[in-house]
Amino acid sequence: MITRRAFTRLALASLATPLTGPNTATAFAQQGAGLDLDQALNRLDQLHSIQVQLGDRLIIAEAPRVPGLDALANIKSCSKSLVALLLGSCIDTGEIPSVASRLIDVAPAIVPPNATEGVDDFTLEDLVTLRAGLESTSGKRYGAWVASSDWLDDALTQPMVARPGGRMIYSTGTTHVLGVALAEASGQSLLELARGRLSAPMGFDIPPWVRDPQGYYLGGNEMALTPRAMLSLARLIRDGGHFDGQQVIPTDWIQASLEPRAHSPYSGMGYGYGWFISDSGYVLARGYGGQVIAAHRERGLAVAITSDPSRPARSAGYFGDLMRLLDGPVLRLADEALAG
């Protein structure tokens, strides 16, 4: 692994313009060349762990705060990206004809009779790209949504605020509908799908997580993985669906997933099939608080970051600091390691 001194030097060189104040990664630039990595990471007071793998080499593996690299972490909305991978798997097995299939044809039983006009025309692509057009159930509406007696009914009876297939509307309810559709189409719960299609072939575990009042696992939030498992998923994306010599997710699905279909109204990043795409070449799953599963395919990088799941990580705040860390020190670290 790279030395702490080398990483610190790269961090100091890259984070010279503060974004959010002294208790962030940007404070690296204000501390002088003698600052070691532990001190530098302490400035990211939400950060729990960071791992960076370059090719087959693990060059950073730090957990400056509990619970560590082997303990479960709530990955929050990184779950949405896993649901998107499972959609690709269900299409590959023929359980779902294509991403253009309509929700009403794939899982007719989950569409309530009072669904908002236009829901019958939703495609799975509309759902996986968060372009269903329905009012969001995330953010300030999330609490009321999860307090409802029927999450599917609540999500699918929200008012239509945009054209389906149009702009991105970030909504956990939309991904939950997709996850339930996958369960209905496959005859397996979302937990069984996630274990059978991802965790078992990749050698890690996914414990049960939150279920809705009807018993469906929440699609889009509250899954738990170890940071090491998150890094394995970053490698899967980086390596085109391959993991340790086996094809886990079809390469063509990975490739299609990384084509921007919309743009986040918050970060401005592109959004494909469940994955964010940065201008600097990263593909990311992003979760509340600063949970990140990222790959930079051109540089051969896989990155996993866990953070305090109880604190926000806005694009102009802590998440912005994490992106500065990825775009600056981590990319430079990769270049230096390759050169050395």
Query: From residue 28, how far is each of 195, 224, 295, 314, 330 by CA, in Å?
Result: 40, 30, 24, 20, 14
Angle ∠(264,268,273) on CA atoms, nearest 5: 45
Residue 267 neighbours by CB under 8 Å, 6+ apart: 276, 315, 319
Strands 223-225 and 270-271 turn out to be unpaired
* Residue (of 135, 131, 127) closest to 160 by Cα position: 135
pLDDT at 208 (0 to 100): 98
Q: Show the tokens assigned to 160.
A: 């239509």
The pair phi, psi for residue 201, each rounded to 5°, is -65, -20
Residue 248 neighbours by CB under 8 Å, 6+ apart: 197, 198, 201, 202, 236, 241, 242
pLDDT at 30 (0 to 100): 34
In this structure, the number of other CB atoms found within 10 A of the CB of residue 299 comes to 20
Strands 73-76 and 223-225 turn out to be antiparallel
21 sits in the region (left: phi over 0; alpha: psi -120 to 50; else beta) called left
Q: b or e along 277-293 (b: 16 or more beta carbons within 10 Å of the residue's beta carbon)?
A: bbeeebbbbbbbbbbbb
The pair phi, psi for residue 50, each rounded to 5°, is -145, 135
- Three-state DSSP at 79 gives helix
Tell me how far apart the alpha carbons of residues 183 and 214 are, in angstroms, rounded to a whole number: 13
Burial of 129 (0-12, 13-18, 19+ CB in 10 A): buried
pLDDT at 38 (0 to 100): 56
In this structure, the number of other CB atoms found within 10 A of the CB of residue 199 comes to 19
Burial of 219 (0-12, 13-18, 19+ CB in 10 A): buried
pLDDT at 27 (0 to 100): 39
pLDDT at 43 (0 to 100): 82
pTM for the predicted model, two decimal places? 0.90
User: What are the average pLDDT values for consecutive 10-residue runs of the chain, which has 340 residues?
Assistant: 47 36 36 42 88 95 92 98 98 98 98 97 97 97 97 98 97 98 98 98 98 98 98 98 97 98 95 98 97 97 97 92 91 83
pLDDT at 333 (0 to 100): 83
pLDDT at 39 (0 to 100): 57
